[in-house]
Structure 1
Amino acid sequence: MRYEITGKNGFQPTDAIRAYVEKKMVKVINFFDNNAVDYARIVLSAYKNFTKVEVTIPSPYIILRSEVKDPDMYAAIDKTVDKLSQQIRKHKTKVRKEMQKGGAKSIFTQEFDTEALEKEVKANNLVKSKKISIKPMTVDDAITAMELSGHDFFIFLDINTFDPRIVYRRDDGDYAVIDAAPEKNK
């Protein structure tokens, strides 16, 4: 198992933090069969008021991803390991069904508490559907509309192309735009 541990935003992980990350990640990696996971990518960032831990674990049939912020780096590492473990528990049945379609046996080595799994899945059901009308506007107008609405994102049509776009507020306070243009036929 290979760990790609990198720092971001000026943060340089110490040997102690690297050892702590590897020790904690074993808890998540142990859920998988020996050959199911080759590596885990961990990005550690430090900001003015908090630290952030981002983990990506690509494996067959599933890509686990977690992003956790906390004032303390060690607490953020602990929380992200817990979050990844919950994701595995939540998606275990779905992943097994996909694997059986492809002829694979299992990528997981440990069994989970199915009663706890059922409670968690029930808590994550879709509970609301909403229909909105989207209007053509500029990115600046969309940011203003988003701020006025009090939401963290806003869907709009690009004023020039009429393609759907999504503007959202990033964790660092800046804004970003996602182009949601339909795929063109080749």
Structure 2
Amino acid sequence: MDTSIVGVGVGITDRFRTVVEEKTARIETLAARAQRLDVKVTHRAYHNGRVPDETVELTLLGKGPVIRAEATDPDKFAALDLALDKMTEQLRRAKRKRVDARTDARGAHFEKGSGALTGIDVQPASVDVIHAVATGTIPVVAEEEEEYSPVVIRTKEFDAEWMTVEEAVDRMELVGHDFFLFIDARTDHPSVVYRRKGWDYGVISLTAQAPPAEALAS
């Protein structure tokens, strides 16, 4: 596995490179398909008397999904340890889940006979809501003066990926998130898997119906 180390606002010493090489060896034992590990160290200085900190970002690239982890600490060596612990835990959880899936039918799986999805909660969107969206009959609410809010809403856009529910759960575990958006390869429905208690997961799917003929004619 190749390792790339870059610094933003901070120099990368030979000692830090040596420590990275030594400590990332455990990543290779858990991710045999990994091809490259990118390590980014960012130094942030503050002007209000706050102690400067170092953020270490890890990005693991290979034949499987991209895996990321990061941590911040005044000491970049401590931040490296924290980030490695996070990534190691993500890889272990994903590996443990794959082993459990082979030995115990926990979590989501499809019955071969009926094709039914069991072991996972499916909560499709309301038919009334889908129909209202498809036909454009959502009630119009009079606009009111927008209230100031200190909350900043961040938006992100990603390319759609088709995969099974099981693959989506694996991807969610690898990236360390509590939910994951995808297109269900079996139904072509936009869906999201999410974490519940313990090893339980849920999935919500959006099903759309074609609008009636009279709506199209209008």
Which TM-score applies when normalising by structure 1?
0.51
The 10-residue stretch of structure 1 (40-49 or 60-69) with the greater mean CA deviation from structure 2: 60-69
Aligned mates of 2:37, 2:43 — CA distance in 1: 20
The residue number in structure 2 matching 1:58 is 61
Pairwise mapping of residues 1-186 of structure 1 onto structure 2 (< 5 A)? 1-8=1-8, 10-33=9-32, 36-48=33-45, 49-93=52-96, 145=149, 147=150, 153-154=152-153, 167=154, 178-180=155-157
Aligned mates of 2:40, 2:12 — CA distance in 1: 9
Aligned mates of 2:88, 2:38 — CA distance in 1: 16
**Unaligned 5+ runs, structure 2:** 46-51, 103-142, 161-218
Aligned mates of 1:20, 1:4 — CA distance in 2: 13
CA-based RMSD: 3.1
Q: How many residues align?
A: 112
> Contact 2:30/2:92 (CA < 8 Å) preserved in 1?
no
Compare CA radii of gyration and give the structure with the larger one. 2
Aligned mates of 1:54, 1:41 — CA distance in 2: 8
Aligned mates of 1:95, 1:41 — CA distance in 2: 25
Aligned mates of 1:44, 1:65 — CA distance in 2: 14
> Contact 1:50/1:69 (CA < 8 Å) preserved in 2?
yes
Percent identity reads 24
Q: Which amino acid aligns with 1:38?
A: Q
- State the Cα distance separating 1:79 from its structure 2 match: 0.7
- State the Cα distance separating 1:182 from its structure 2 match: 10
- Secondary structure of 2:85's partner? helix
- State the Cα distance separating 1:23 from its structure 2 match: 0.9
- Secondary structure of 1:13's partner? coil
Q: Which amino acid aligns with 2:66?
A: I
Which TM-score applies when normalising by structure 2?
0.44
- State the Cα distance separating 1:96 from its structure 2 match: 6.8
> Contact 1:53/1:69 (CA < 8 Å) preserved in 2?
yes
Aligned mates of 1:181, 1:37 — CA distance in 2: 23
